[in-house]
A and B are shown apart, each in its own frame.
Chain A
Amino acid sequence: MSKGIKVALAGNPNVGKTTLLNHAAKTNLKVGNWAGVTVEKKEGYLNYKGYEIHFIDLPGVYTLEPISEDEWIAYNFIAEEKPDVIVNVIETTNAERDLLLTTELLEFGIPMIIALNMSDEASRMGIEVDAKHTSELLDVRVVRTNGRNGDGVQELLDKIIECADQPTSPKKIMYSEQVEASLAALQDIDPNGAPDKRALLARLTDGNGENLEKQKLEKFFKKDIKSVIKDERYAFAHGFYNEVFRRKKNGARDITDRIDKVVLHPIFGFIIFLFVIFMLFKISFDFSTPFMDWTEGLINNLFAPLVLSLLSNVGAGKWLPEFFSQAIVGGVGFVITFVPLIGMIYFLLAILEMSGYMPRIAFIMDRFMHKLGLHGKGMIPLLLGFGCNVPAVMATRTLENKRDKLLVMAMIPFMSCPARLVVFSFFAVLFFVHPAVIIFGLYILGIAIGLLTAFFLRKTAYRGSLSHFVMELPPYRIPRLRTVLQIVWVQVKSFLYRAGTVIFAASVVIWILLNTPPNIKNQSDSAAAYVGKAITPVLAPIGIKDWRISTSLIPAFLAREIVLSSMGTIYSVDIQNKNTDFHFLPELENQLKQLGLATRDGFESLVTPGLQSMQIEEGNQGLRNVIRSSFTAASALSFMIFLLLYTSCLATVAVMAREGGKKFAFFFLAYSFAIAWSVAFIVYHIGMLI
């Protein structure tokens, strides 16, 4: 049996704890470059030299005098769960600030390792640390690490094992003579022997009424006891910094200030922001379109015929090939074609986050957000919402004020995510001459409804003054391609996982319902049609009169993109299977050639200005043609609006319930349905007039 070691990673926000964990445990965790991205407890396991090391990545905090939620999480973990080893990660370039937390961590008496992270940046800036001296002074182990390339991680792991084998309590900091004397006095009167220093300190500060030592100290220092202790900790950190850190005069100039001169310029900064957002959308759409087309071809021209020909070779009956082409290719396969788009959006958002630009957006946009009664920091969850609403809702935890938090949370679901884009790009291309304009319009509509919701809430439920903000801007860093790709892979994996589970299950259920009772002549006599017809009266006023569409909306509450896979399953029943000649090798060769072309097109699209993807395509799919026959332009638009605004996503509703309470989530769901229905109704009826 291997020995387990529980290791807590503690440090200020944005010092690279999670990146170090990624190097150590090789787990794929989310890494960001803005203060407070690690709002959740993240864990990683590693078997190393016969030990099972269990890492817990604590939220980044500046102090263990807990006020905010993050700080409480970190404090409670260390105080109550008592890890075997604390790894205190320090951003070497910012050590003076980081050492306050170190000072507080020392008092827990848990064996500690100080990881001097970003050591490369530090040496470039001419900052030197006397690691040996640090180790001797505090009785802790010290290791230099570099989160960017993983240098020092091996040494860190070795030191963790050393720590677990020969645990040594670090030295506790010494307070001023007066405080130490009071602590000694408290210890003397304790009948139960010697409690640790932290307990004594707690007794000194918390003691109310008959606390002579407290009164004595407050009288001496002329301030309250908590300030005395706090100030002395700061003083210690400051003195310690001067003792072991040296700063050479001729270190390289920091490039961040020079970049910020332009990026945070009152005018250019805003122009750059608009440009960045434009590029975010342009690259995600234009670059991924050729790859989406390629994926579609791969599934429909290579994978599907291959399986079908195999099935007919083994003499499968009638229903198995039918099930395969309708439920699997029509349902799951269709959704998979959107993987390139989703991957690209996450790729770009990860770059924004890791480069350090994301928190700057909060600073630039606060001017405007503030006018709308919102918090600049709220901009980050809103932007993340364009990637996926679920992490966006979780990111609202960085907002200190409950009111700001709920306001932003009520806006996030209106930020259109790739799952909705999947549906939009399908319908917009089918029914409109300028699909890009329609899609852009839908994004704007979502934002407008979000703002209106916030405005409405501010006038009613969430009145009150606007909270101030305090936020750190990290230095600019060039994101590591490997780490960015890791993040993208995590997201794509979860999308594929959903395709393989929830979407697959939904497709199968719908297919079964479509074929129940068995041997029906007409699809409209099936169980699926029965269910769809039952809810059609609710949706008919907004132009959704076809049972096939209302049926596909039901499972879409699990996730919006299911609406397409369901339609794919339902409609593909109507599509004739084309029985063309299929030869595996030539087709494989063709697909590889197509991939080359797609890559060329993708890169070409990057150098052409303007958004150009989503121009009308040939109706290359039977599905497109049949769907075209059951919608009009007006009902298609109304359908898209309904899907945009209605929070048709179980995961989002669940995370809203967790973060904002069940009542909040339920009301919001009802509200979003009402607003989606109303806007769709208006648009549909205006559309009918035109």
Chain B
Amino acid sequence: MVSLKEIFSKTDDKGSVTKETGRLSEGKKTLKELKVGETAQIVGFTKQSETVQKVEAMGLRPGKKIRIMQKLGRGILVKTSNSRIVITSDVAKNIEVK
């Protein structure tokens, strides 16, 4: 039996990595650039905002594996775990993936 304290130390969640520079690190791309059917892992956000907070709370967190299910206009349907989340490309361009 683990205690609450142990749960915390066992986790592999890396926390949000925010780069206030607004620029991508080298060799990384944004969620916006992914094509339908591609999978990737979220690395961090290039900009903090209320929308980013909401997106995080909805489950798009650094470390999470995602798959692009569909793109329609500016809307992008992203699947992670069991949730399907639609975000617009102006939000997606601030999400860094690898």
**Interface residues, chain A, with chain B CB atoms under 8 Å away:** 62-63, 65, 67-68, 93-94, 96-97, 100, 125, 133, 136-138, 171, 173-176, 223, 227, 230-232, 234-236, 238-240, 242-243, 254, 256-257, 260, 264-266, 269, 362-364, 366-367, 370, 376, 468-475
Contact with A along B65-87 (1 / 0, CB 8 A): 00001101111010101111111
CB under 8 Å from chain A, chain B span 47-98: 50-51, 53-59, 61, 69-70, 72-75, 77, 79, 81-88, 90-91
Asked, given contacts A257-B79, A473-B77, whether A264 binds B72 with beta carbons under 8 Å apart, the answer is yes
A174-B4, A239-B13, A264-B77 given as contacts; is B59 within 8 A of A468 (CB)?
A: no
In-complex Cβ contact of B85 among A234, A236, A239, A472 (8 A): A472
CA A201 – CA B75 in complex, angstroms?
A: 37
Is A235's CB under 8 angstroms from B15's CB?
A: yes
| Smallest CB separation, B59 vs chain A (Å) | 4
Kindly state whether residue B28 has any CB partner on chain A within 8 Å. Answer: no
Asked if B8 and A236 make an inter-chain contact with CB atoms under 8 angstroms apart, the answer reads: yes
Contact of A366 among B11, B18, B73, B83 (CB under 8 A): B73
Q: How far is the CA of A472 from the CA of B57 in the complex (A)?
A: 12
Q: How far is the CA of A468 from the CA of B76 in the complex (A)?
A: 11
Query: What residues of chain A lie closer than 8 Å to B70, measured between beta carbons?
Result: 260, 264-265
Task: Find the A residue at minimum CB distance from B89.
Answer: A468
B15 touches A94 (CB 8 A): no
A83→B78 CA distance, assembly (Å): 36
A133 and B2 CA atoms in complex are apart in Å by: 10
Shortest distance from the beta carbon of B63 to any chain A beta carbon, whole Å: 8
Q: Which residue of A lies closest to B16 (CB)?
A: A231
| Residue among B83, B85, B88 with the highest chain A CB neighbour number at 10 A | B83
Write the chain B residue with the least CB distance to A473.
Answer: B84
Report B-chain residues with C-beta under 8 Å of the C-beta of A63. 53-54, 57
- Inter-chain pairs besides A235-B8, A239-B13, A471-B85, 4 sampled, C-beta below 8 Å: A234-B61, A242-B10, A367-B73, A473-B86
Contact A67 B90 (CB under 8 A): no
CA distance A238 to B81 in the complex (A): 12
Determine which of A231, A243, A266 lies in contact with B15 in the assembled complex, contact meaning CB atoms within 8 Å: A231
Complex: chain B residue closest to A93, CB-CB: B82
The interface residues of chain A lying within 8 Å CB-to-CB of B85 are: 470-473
A472 touches B74 (CB 8 A): no
A334 to B63, CA, bound (A): 63
Beyond A257-B79, A367-B73, whether A176 also contacts B8 by CB under 8 A is yes
Whether B58 contacts A472 by the Cβ 8 Å rule is yes
Task: Jot down 16 A-B pairs with beta carbons below 8 A, ordered by A.
Answer: A94-B59, A227-B15, A230-B53, A231-B15, A236-B8, A238-B61, A242-B10, A257-B69, A257-B79, A260-B70, A366-B75, A367-B74, A469-B88, A470-B55, A470-B86, A470-B87
Q: Do the beta carbons of B59 and A97 come within 8 Å of each other? A: yes
Contact B50 A469 (CB under 8 A): no
Cβ contact within 8 Å between B16 and A468: no
Contact assessment for A174 and B5 in the assembled complex, using a CB-CB cutoff below 8 Å: yes
Q: Are A240 and B74 in contact (CB under 8 A)?
A: no
Q: Is the CB of A94 within 8 A of B83?
A: yes
> Which residue of chain B has the shortest Cβ distance to A474 in the bound complex?
B84
Which chain B residue shows the least CB distance to A377?
Answer: B86
B32-46: CB near A (< 8 Å → 1, else 0) gives 000000000000000
Can you name the residue of chain A whose Cβ is closest to the Cβ of B4?
A174
In contact, A239 and B86 (Cβ under 8 angstroms): no
Across the interface, do A227 and B86 meet the contact criterion of CB distance under 8 Å? Answer: no
B75 touches A235 (CB 8 A): no
In the bound complex, CA of A42 to CA of B7 (Å): 36
Find chain B residues with CB under 8 A from A264 CB.
69-70, 72, 77
With A and B bound together, what is the CA distance between A125 and B16 in angstroms? 29
Q: Which of A175, A227, A269, A475 contacts B8 (CB 8 A)?
A: A175
Chain B residues, Cβ within 8 Å of A171 = 4
CA distance A376 to B88 in the complex (A): 10
Q: In the complex, how many angstroms separate the beta carbon of A271 from the nearest chain B beta carbon? A: 14
Interface centre among A94, A366, A468 (most CB of B within 10 A): A468
Q: Say whether B75 contacts A376, CB under 8 Å.
A: yes
Q: Which residues of B contact A231 (CB under 8 A)?
A: 13, 15-16
In the complex, the chain B residue whose C-beta lies closest to that of A366 is B75
Closest residue on chain A to residue B71 by CB atoms: A266
Interface pairs A-B: 9 shortest CB-CB: A367-B73, A239-B11, A231-B15, A62-B57, A97-B59, A468-B88, A238-B13, A235-B13, A473-B84
| B82 contact from A94, A230, A362, Cβ within 8 A | A94
Kindly provide the distance from the CB of A425 to the nearest chain B CB, expressed in whole angstroms.
36
How far does the alpha carbon of A96 sit from the alpha carbon of B57 in the complex, in Å? 11
Query: Which residue from B58, B75, B90 sits with its C-beta under 8 Å from A97?
Result: B58
Q: Which residues of A contact B81 (CB under 8 A)?
A: 94, 96-97
Q: Is the CB of B58 within 8 A of A234?
A: no
A172 to chain B, nearest CB (A): 8
The reply to whether A470 and B58 contact each other, CB–CB distance below 8 Å, is yes
Chain B residues lying within 8 Å of A367, measured Cβ to Cβ, are 72-75
A260 with B69: CB separation less than 8 A: yes
Residue with the highest number of chain A CB atoms closer than 10 Å, among B13, B16, B57, B77: B57
Contact B75 A363 (CB under 8 A): yes
- Given A227-B16, A234-B15, A234-B56, answer yes or no on A472-B73 (Cβ-Cβ < 8 Å): no
Chain A residues with CB below 8 A from B2, complex form: 137, 243
Central interface residue in B55, B61, B79, B90, by most chain A CB within 10 Å: B61
- For A64, the closest partner residue in chain B by CB is B57
Q: Report the Cα distance A125→B82, complex, angstroms.
A: 10
| Contact status A243-B50, CB under 8 Å | no
Give min CB distance, A273 to chain B, whole Å. Answer: 11
Question: B13 contacts A234, CB within 8 Å?
Answer: yes
What residues of chain B lie closer than 8 Å to A243, measured between beta carbons?
2, 7, 10
How many angstroms between the C-alpha atoms of A134 and B93 in the bound complex?
Answer: 38
Taking each of B72, B84, B87, which has the highest tally of chain A beta carbons within 10 Å of its own beta carbon? B84
Q: With A257-B79, A264-B72 as given contacts, are A468 and B4 in contact (CB-CB < 8 Å)? A: no
Chain A contacts of B55 at CB under 8 A?
A: 470
Are B86 and A65 in touch, CB under 8 angstroms?
A: no
Our pick among B7, B12, B15, B61 for the contact of A240 (Cβ within 8 Å) is: B7
Q: Is B88 a contact of A223 with CB atoms below 8 Å?
A: no
Complex: chain B residue closest to A173, CB-CB: B4
Q: Which residue of B lies closest to A106 (CB)?
A: B4
Most chain A C-beta atoms within 10 Å of own C-beta, residue among B7, B12, B55: B7
Q: Say yes or no: A266 contacts B72, CB within 8 Å.
A: yes
The interface residues of chain A lying within 8 Å CB-to-CB of B87 are: 468-470
